[in-house]
Amino acid sequence: MLIPIHPYPHVWDEFVRQQPNGHLLQLSGWGALKSAFGWSAERVALVDSDANLRAGAQILYKPFPGGLFHLAYVPMGGTVTDPTEWPLLWRAVRAAAAKRRTVFIKWEPGLFLGDLAAPDPAAMGFQAGPQTVQPPRTIVLDITGDDDAILARMNQGTRRKIRQSQKSGVVYREGDARDAERFAQLMQVTGDRNEFGVHGERYYQMAHGLFAPHDAALIVAEHEGALLAGVFVASVGGQAYYLYGASSNEHRDLMASYGVQWLAIQWAKRRGCAWYDLWGIPDEDEATLEAQFQARSDGLWGVYGFKRGWGGQVVRSLGAWDMPTLPPVYGLYRWMLKRRGR
């Protein structure tokens, strides 16, 4: 018999880190980060008779306008140690969400790489959601083997730019709190240049403070005291992912954005990762991506041209799934989305 509990953050985090599909977005620190920016967080777990954690999920709640109802969101989780535990886990999640007048539970299970068996959201009472929170399509790099093997999987242009980045007098290192502040400012520059939205400066500084150095690192590139590029990379559960990247408008010929990405891959290898997720490209099939990337720079198209050269595989996660908990209100929500043309 499994019993639902609300585990202490450190107990929950240790459980997540031990899971092959554990993810940064399921750590308590991610709940703390989002709670500083309009969300709230709750962790629900199932324990056996010996008090061992067997399954669980971190739930993020966001109030709808007016505050009467909430959205419940489970990002890149939950986690079960046996597939038969899924129904019990969702029963516990629904019970927790009901206390907040939740309209629906949005679930983004994420990627299931290697030998991991993906769950079937439809069999658990979910329906395909009309909106995603995280980009559903990405490029995943195989980073097994030595450096030569990883470089051999890349296209020639990317290999050349990585080598060029190492000969340009740029200094690469792991950043500290001061660098996180400078990186946050550089994110604004990058968002403006590539036409995609970014968080405020405090968000990136807080993310660094919560996760580095245990679960993440900020890799930065400097030239003559100026910050040229940086990437925020994380690793949980044997998989690494490139969450945020920024680069200056200055000295782009020094290829610092390639240098920091290469060092981030090496950081992931030292942590025993086999996969490196480049985290987000346009949600189109590979043929469309290749046909259009040179002509488009809006949204994630601007970064696809950079990411495609690293020799990875275009994959799509399980996407976003919704479980209505107040069906009449959820129906109204879907109608409003359709009316807005989303």
The residues with which 171 forms a beta bridge, in sequence order, are 222
Q: Is the pLDDT assigned to residue 27 strictly greater than 60? A: yes
Q: Is the pLDDT assigned to residue 342 strictly greater than 60? A: no
- Tell me which residue has tokens 């890149």: 76
Mean pLDDT in residue range 138-156:
97
Nearest residue to 134 via CA among 224, 254, 30, 46: 30
Q: What is the DSSP string of 149-186?
A: HHHHTS-HHHHHHHHHHTTSS-EEEE--HHHHHHHHHH
Position 206 scores a pLDDT of 97
Backbone angles phi, psi at 236, to 5 degrees: -145, 140
Helix/strand/coil for 50: coil
**Type of residue at 191:** G
Position 154 scores a pLDDT of 97
Tokens of 234: 């994380």
Position 297 scores a pLDDT of 83
Nearest residue to 220 via CA among 266, 170, 254, 268: 170
CA-to-CA separations, 244 to 145, 226, 328, in angstroms, rounded: 25, 19, 38
Helix/strand/coil for 38: coil
What is the band of 32 on the pLDDT scale with cuts at 50, 70, 90? very high
pTM: 0.95
Backbone angles phi, psi at 226, to 5 degrees: -95, 140
Fold equal for 3-132+319-339 and 137-316? yes
Among 2.40.110.10, 3.30.70.890, 3.40.630.30, 3.90.79.10, name the CATH number for the domain at 3-132+319-339.
3.40.630.30
SS (HEC) of 204-263:
HHHHHHHHCCCCEEEEEEEECCEEEEEEEEEEECCEEEEEEEEECCCCHHHCHHHHHHHH
pLDDT digits (tens, 9 = 90+) for 167-188: 989 999 999 999 999 999 999 9
pLDDT digits (tens, 9 = 90+) for 218-274: 999 999 999 999 999 999 988 999 999 999 999 999 999 999 999 999 999 999 999
When the pLDDT of each residue in the chain is averaged and rounded to a whole number, the result is: 95
| Cα separation, 37 vs 41, whole angstroms | 11
Contact 142, 166 (CB under 8 A): no
Select the more confidently predicted residue: 23 or 117. 23
Nearest residue to 265 via CA among 175, 185, 145, 99: 145
Backbone angles phi, psi at 163, to 5 degrees: -65, -40
pLDDT digits (tens, 9 = 90+) for 107-144: 999 998 877 889 999 999 999 999 999 999 999 999 99
CATH architecture for residues 137-316: 3-Layer(aba) Sandwich (3.40)
What is the band of 192 on the pLDDT scale with cuts at 50, 70, 90? confident
Residues 6 or more apart whose CB falls under 8 angstroms from that of 146 comprise none
| Cα separation, 19 vs 328, whole angstroms | 37
What is the band of 340 on the pLDDT scale with cuts at 50, 70, 90? confident
Residues 6 or more apart whose CB falls under 8 angstroms from that of 110 comprise 21, 23, 75, 76, 77, 134, 317, 318
Helix/strand/coil for 190: helix
- Report residue 119 CA to chain centroid gap: 19
Domain boundaries, the chain: 3-132+319-339, 137-316
pLDDT digits (tens, 9 = 90+) for 78-111: 999 999 999 999 999 999 999 999 999 999 999 9
Mean pLDDT in residue range 208-215:
96
